[in-house]
Chain A
Amino acid sequence: MSVDLGTVRHIAKLARLHVEQEQAEALVGELNKILGWVEQLGELDTTGVPPMTSVVERSQPLREDVVTEEDSNSAVLANAPDSAHGFFVVPKVVE
């Protein structure tokens, strides 16, 4: 499997990541090198091996479904680049 400029553009789009043209070209080589390197995992027969989901075995913990935080609207918005009337502000999404 090899990555070309179109693939780099596609995954950059999926990741919502602006990449300059020059960098995108460099990334083609870098990503191919890294992917070529990780492909050595294909040497291993993993038939029937369960993919790891949790590194330390344990049961799923449950807690009481209770409110633990008081109203923290201003704390939540404190680092927002733009906010108004207690909400985050984003560019217009509905015409």
Chain B
Amino acid sequence: MTSPTHMTLAQARDALAKREMSARELAEAHLAAVEAARPLNAFTVETPEKALSMAEASDERLAKGEGRPLEGIPLGIKDLFCTEGVASTAGSRMLKDFKPTYESTVTANLWRDGAVLLGKLNMDEFAMGSSNMTSAYGGVENPWRAEGSDKKLVAGGSSGGSAAAVAARCALGTTGTDTGGSIRQPAAFTGIVGMKPTYGRCSRWGIVSFASSLDQAGPMARSVRDCAILLRSMSGHDPKDSTSIEQPVPDFEKALTGDIRGLKVGIPKEYRVDGMSEELERLWQQGIDWLRAAGAEIIDISLPHTSYALPTYYIVASAEASSNLARYDGVRYGLRVEGDSLDEMYEATRGAGFGREVKRRILIGTYVLSAGYYDAYYNKARQVRTLIARDFGQAYEKVDVILTPTTPGPAFPMGEKMDDPIAMYLNDVFTVPASLAGQPAISVPAGLSEQGLPLGLQLIGRAFDEQTVLRAAGVLEEAAQFTAEPAFVAGA
């Protein structure tokens, strides 16, 4: 039998159902891996006692033949999700001692289906970042190393802990959230699969808000199938989130038929950006060839407003963030720094609680929403967002899914790009458009760079058509046969 930490989630699920191992054994193996991987700084909190008691409850159910869809599956949870009685910091000093008295809907759904909590995962502060370096608890180290180098690389962000934990074999799957690429970019950097579902597919209730019109939870795991399994449990309408959609949740795993004959795959010419590296162009072409060989029809398309997506995103996301983060006022929860007046208390609290990137975005957001600038910046960006969504709408008249690279390059060294916000933002150039248009998108590890680092390909699909995205991703995964392992792997 494969070592429990090296199984896919689907393999572990089947082994548990057949009673080839116990949920307790599976949890213990993963807890040991979590401990061994501490140098990566992927976890902000470990919950071994909780994990073991949840695993024991799963074993009782399995013994009675009452296993649920995720019975006994050990997962890590991004620290943006509120977990009852377990610290939920959002990677910020502001919420250092925050222990929610309630459970987010997405995590409640996972526990309802039998999953086991290993701990909470490090992330960029309030999910603002593409490197995980803005976390108040330190950056997350990528378990991968470039060939012949021992330089520490970023795990990507903002769901960097979630990505590193899965890549290092500490968890069978994790939750992430994606506002402009925060699931897909770290997934690509660490050689795993990460999916941002359609906006509204998963409830945002109990997830610390960053940019409410963009934030969406999604699964991260080592295979497309594992993501499909997790997504089914995470999804569903929630009366507590009026933007969650009242649609039945399909059995996403059933979408993985391996048959994409006749599927129309769009290749957007605007994604062939200036200075794209040769290795990335090669990988993209390889992806095109794989899908064509499997019977898909490849069609050139145009998404003319692509180059405006990033600036649009930074206006919209910062504006929403400045409004959402107004709640951290030192009164109801989180940090408080005393001052002589209420205003001074607010200012001192927020000055001490927020890190540099968060402050920068709050200020940008406040500026673009302020009198005199609202129309020039914020409204303009919302108009361009309409144009970007229309681009996709027109593309889907001709194609079913769109294939692009996930990131402009592989993981970069920790500490790089920190002084240049725009260079950091450019990491999300290929992921932001689908976020602005609310569409489902997945990153699949497709190959290694010349330095031996993972590179991902992205598939984007129509709103609420995760099944087609997953089906195509499954074919891509099968063709890519990505079996390379990172330099650091926890457990046997």
Interface residues of A (CB under 8 A from B): 1, 3, 7-8, 11-12, 14-20, 23, 27, 30-31, 33-35, 37-42, 44, 46, 49-56, 58, 60-61, 63, 72, 75-76, 78-82, 88, 90-91, 93
Task: Give the top 9 A-B pairs by smallest Cβ distance, nearest first.
Answer: A18-B351, A51-B382, A55-B438, A81-B336, A79-B333, A46-B383, A38-B311, A75-B101, A16-B346
B312 engages A41 (CB within 8 Å): yes
A87 → B minimal CB distance (Å)? 11
CA–CA, A54 and B363, complex, Å: 24
Interface residues of B (CB under 8 A from A): 97-102, 198-200, 213-214, 239, 242-243, 245-246, 305, 308, 311-312, 314-315, 322, 326, 329-336, 338-348, 350-352, 354, 356, 359-360, 362-364, 366-367, 370, 373, 376-377, 379-387, 389, 421-422, 436-438, 463
A50-B386, A55-B199, A56-B199 as given contacts; A14 in contact with B380, CB under 8 Å: no
B441 → A minimal CB distance (Å)? 13
**Chain A residues near B364 (CB-CB < 8 A):** 31, 34-35
A11's partner among B329, B339, B370, B387 (CB-CB below 8 A) is B370
B331 engages A38 (CB within 8 Å): no
A1-B373, A41-B311, A82-B336 as given contacts; A11 in contact with B363, CB under 8 Å: yes
CA–CA, A15 and B382, complex, Å: 22
A90 engages B331 (CB within 8 Å): yes
Which residue of A has the minimal Cβ distance to B214?
Answer: A55
CA–CA, A75 and B343, complex, Å: 26
A91 engages B311 (CB within 8 Å): no
**Chain B residues near A15 (CB-CB < 8 A):** 322, 326, 350, 362-363, 366
B51 → A minimal CB distance (Å)? 24
A16 engages B101 (CB within 8 Å): no
A61-B246, A80-B333, A91-B345 as given contacts; A49 in contact with B367, CB under 8 Å: no
B332 engages A79 (CB within 8 Å): yes
A8-B363, A19-B351 as given contacts; A51 in contact with B331, CB under 8 Å: no
B239 engages A63 (CB within 8 Å): yes
B384's partner among A46, A53, A76 (CB-CB below 8 A) is A46
15 A-B contact pairs sorted by A residue (CB < 8 Å): A1-B376, A11-B367, A15-B326, A15-B363, A16-B346, A20-B351, A34-B364, A34-B422, A35-B367, A37-B311, A52-B383, A52-B389, A76-B101, A76-B332, A91-B345
CA–CA, A50 and B385, complex, Å: 10
Which residue of A has the minimal Cβ distance to B316?
Answer: A52
CA–CA, A93 and B359, complex, Å: 26
B40 → A minimal CB distance (Å)? 29
A11-B370, A81-B334, A91-B341 as given contacts; A34 in contact with B386, CB under 8 Å: no
A13 → B minimal CB distance (Å)? 8
B350 engages A46 (CB within 8 Å): no
A30 engages B308 (CB within 8 Å): no
B424 → A minimal CB distance (Å)? 11
A12 engages B386 (CB within 8 Å): no
B421's partner among A30, A44, A76, A91 (CB-CB below 8 A) is A30
**Chain A residues near B214 (CB-CB < 8 A):** 55
A38 engages B387 (CB within 8 Å): no
B470 → A minimal CB distance (Å)? 19
**Chain A residues near B387 (CB-CB < 8 A):** 44, 46, 49
Which residue of B has the minimal Cβ distance to A3?
Answer: B367
**Chain A residues near B354 (CB-CB < 8 A):** 17
Which residue of A has the minimal Cβ distance to B84?
Answer: A75
A18 engages B348 (CB within 8 Å): yes
